[in-house]
Structure 1
Amino acid sequence: MITLTRLNGHPFAVNPDLIERAESTPDTVVTLVDGTKLLVAEDLASLTRIVQEHRAGVVALAIEMADSEPNAAVASVTGIDSRPRLHVTPEVD
């Protein structure tokens, strides 16, 4: 999710994957894939930068996760988790 600002100053979050296009008319209008139009305070260049930084962060996090937990990355793709499991047996009185 990215955080944008309504013209009245109130912030809101939107999934950038749902953005179809953005126009400057002169206010910035964001059109979502379902046709919803959002008027935002950010200019077009700022909106573009925010989306690019969000996507770069997603890729960086995926790389970091793959490097730190290779078995977890494989498990998410294959559905097979080969990480060791801690089995706790409840105490019986």
Structure 2
Amino acid sequence: MIKLKRLNGEQFTLNAFMIEQIQSFPDTTITLINGKKFVVKETEETVVELITSYYQRIGIIQSLSEVGKTSE
């Protein structure tokens, strides 16, 4: 889960696994796999960093790295 802010400053927590795409229109718009959209204050780069950090905290990135090593 990642914490983000809507344009009005309201903070909310988003399930990073539900994100399908992130775009800058120039506002950062996050589209979920169910089609729901959120416009947030954070830049696209910041959202990607938050997602990557979250994946690292829960061990997803390390697990994917280990799977790649065993399949070589």
**TM-based fold match above 0.5:** yes
For 1:73-84, what aligned pairs fall within 5 Å after superposition?
A: none
Paired-residue identity, %: 34
Q: Which amino acid aligns with 1:50?
A: L
**Aligned-CA RMSD value:** 1.7
Runs of 4+ in 1 over 4 A off after TM superposition: none
The separation in 1 between residues aligned to 2:5 and 2:14, in whole angstroms, is 10
Uncovered stretches (5+) of structure 2, i.e. residues with no partner = 64-72
Uncovered stretches (5+) of structure 1, i.e. residues with no partner = 64-93
Kindly provide the CA deviation profile for residues 8-67 of structure 1, in whole angstroms up to 9, marking residues without a partner as x.
Answer: 00100010000000000000000000000100000001000000000000008xx9xxxx
The separation in 2 between residues aligned to 1:15 and 1:48, in whole angstroms, is 13
For 1:28-39, what aligned pairs fall within 5 Å after superposition?
A: 28-39=28-39
The separation in 2 between residues aligned to 1:45 and 1:20, in whole angstroms, is 15
For 1:3-42, what aligned pairs fall within 5 Å after superposition?
A: 3-42=3-42
Task: Mark the structure with the bigger radius of gyration.
Answer: 1
- Find the residue that maps to 1:30 and give its secondary structure: strand
